[in-house]
DNA sequence: CTCCTAGCTATAGGATTTGATAGCCAGAAC
DNA sequence: GTTCTGGCTATCAAATCCTATAGCTAGGAG
């Protein structure tokens, strides 16, 4: 019914997660506005006004989030200039930002299945070119899809005490 | 640099995401406390007191979240009784709850790479039995791993107007 | 030199989230 | 009975998130 803890972790009463990666991630990007801005960035949006209009959020919060996410390193600012207009900045995803693709699309996959109507909403995520359906989930590097029961958590060899994970 | 929109979606200026699945998902489970409770449930926790102690959150918030998540249908309450104690309820993940495994572990994977120290923290997610490393990300049903550039969004055949996705 | 606009900044207020602390309640132990 | 305990509920205060509204500012257009 759940995943497995191996080695020194097997007895869960002996350790505690003090600064787990999930909590840290949620502290950093755990807001609706951050997720929607990331969605837009994945969709190709780079400019302030487009973020605001497409997410239907106010200028204030878009500005605050872009500043925050840029500060964290999910976006890099890059100058651009439309001919006849003055120079502005656009927001380009860094690798750190792009690495959130699994998290954001996993949320989309879940919402599509469980929160939208019967058909899962009008949009589908597919492979470019082939149109093959795309799924997000855990798998081994050799390509096996895994369920929760197939997962295990192990400690690094030099683990010293209950800290993060 | 981003994903592709195909068919009627190709011109992004003609449509808008009004109730996208990502926003809906964040409305429902987009809190740190929800994610930590789900983490614990994936780790095998089922009882109120264990949720509270393991997540280090207060009783009040754990109770509020469990009630909320149960109401949404992520948990089902099941009576249990330790011999010599009175009957209580424990919180069992439903399929809807278990379907959040990709989202939660994707956050864990990201935090591990980008927010923890150099080694990514002391814990690793592996396949039970083999110990093979586990990754979370988008792939086709036939097993190809995909990058952001390989993804495309298409509309259902009977799509009528700009709504969700 | 004045107007216009994209891209922000400032402020005020409400809703939500969280922590801290305290209290309740039903049954088992005695 | 009375006490004890697991499993909650209630209340208060602080922080965060979001909306709404208004204003600023640097350059191009005229």
Q: CATH number, domain at B115?
A: 1.10.10.10
**Residue A158 lies inside a defined structural domain of this protein:** no
What does the pLDDT average to over B139-161? 85
Q: Chain B 41-100, CB below 8 Å of chain A: which residues?
A: 41-44, 54, 56, 73, 92-93, 96, 98-100
Name the 3-class secondary structure at A138.
strand
Provide the shortest C-alpha distance from residue A65 to chain B (in Å): 15
| DSSP-derived pairing of the beta strands A123-127 and B151-155 | antiparallel
Strands (E) across A6-160 are located at 75-80, 88-93, 123-127, 134-140, 151-155
CB contact under 8 A, A116 and B39: no
**Residue B52 lies inside a defined structural domain of this protein:** yes
Nucleic strand D under 7 Å from the C-beta of A38:
no
User: B142: which residues sit within 8 A by CB, 6+ positions away?
Assistant: A132
Q: Digits of tens for pLDDT over chain A (165 positions)?
A: 799 999 889 888 888 777 789 999 999 999 999 999 999 999 999 999 999 999 999 999 999 999 999 999 999 999 988 888 888 999 999 999 999 999 999 999 999 999 988 777 888 999 999 999 999 999 999 999 999 999 999 987 655 554 444
CB contact under 8 A, B128 and A24: no
| Helix residue ranges per DSSP H, A30-100 | 32-42, 48-55, 59-72, 95-98
**Residue A162 lies inside a defined structural domain of this protein:** no
Domain containing residue A24:
4-153
CB contact under 8 A, B9 and A123: yes
Is any Cβ of chain B less than 8 angstroms from the Cβ of A15?
no
**Residue B75 lies inside a defined structural domain of this protein:** yes
Instruction: Give residue B157's pLDDT band: very low, low, confident or very high (50, 70, 90).
Output: low
Residue B164 has pLDDT above 60, yes or no: no
What does the pLDDT average to over B21-45? 93
Contact list, B92 vs chain A (CB under 8 Å): 1
- Helix H or strand E segment including B99: none
HEC profile for chain B?
Answer: CCCEECHHHCCHHHCCCCCCHHHHHHHHHCCHHHHHHHHHHHCCCCCHHHHHHHHCCCHHHHHHHHHHHHHHCCEEEEEECCCCCCCEEEEEECHHHHCCHHHHHHHHHHHHHHCCCCCCCCEEEEECCCCCEEEEEEEECCCCECCHHHEEEEECCCCCCCCCC
B48, closest nucleotide (Cα–C1')? D7
Q: Which residue has the tokens 């990514």?
A: B120
Nucleic strand D under 7 Å from the C-beta of B49:
yes
CB contact under 8 A, A127 and B144: yes
Please name the member of B24, B99, B108 whose beta carbon is closest to the beta carbon of A22: B108
**Residue A113 lies inside a defined structural domain of this protein:** yes
**Residue A161 lies inside a defined structural domain of this protein:** no
Residue B55 has pLDDT above 70, yes or no: yes
**CB of B20 within 8 A of CB of A108?**
yes
Q: What is the pLDDT of residue B41?
A: 96
The number of folded domains in chain A is 1
Residues by CB within 7 A of strand C: list them.
A 47-49, 58-60, 63, 66-67, 85, 88-89; B 31-34, 56-61, 64-65, 84-86
Q: What is the pLDDT of residue B116?
A: 86
**Residue B97 lies inside a defined structural domain of this protein:** yes
**Residue A146 lies inside a defined structural domain of this protein:** yes
């Amino acid at each position: 019914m759940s995943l497995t803890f191996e080695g020194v972790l097997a007895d869960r009463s002996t350790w505690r997660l003090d600064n787990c990666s999930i909590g840290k991630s949620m502290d950093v990007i755990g807001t609706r506005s951050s997720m929607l801005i990331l969605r837009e960035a994945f969709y190709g949006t780079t400019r302030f006004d487009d973020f605001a209009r497409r997410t239907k959020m106010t200028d204030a919060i878009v500005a605050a989030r872009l500043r925050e996410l840029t500060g964290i390193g999910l976006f890099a600012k890059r100058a651009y200039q439309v001919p006849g207009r003055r120079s502005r900045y656009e927001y380009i995803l860094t690798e750190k930002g792009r690495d959130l693709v699994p998290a954001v699309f996993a949320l989309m996959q879940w919402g599509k299945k469980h929160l939208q109507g019967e058909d899962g909403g009008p949009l589908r995520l597919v492979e470019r070119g082939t149109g093959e359906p795309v799924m997000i989930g855990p798998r081994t590097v050799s390509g096996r899809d895994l369920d929760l029961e197939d997962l295990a958590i192990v400690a690094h060899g030099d683990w010293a005490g209950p800290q993060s994970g």
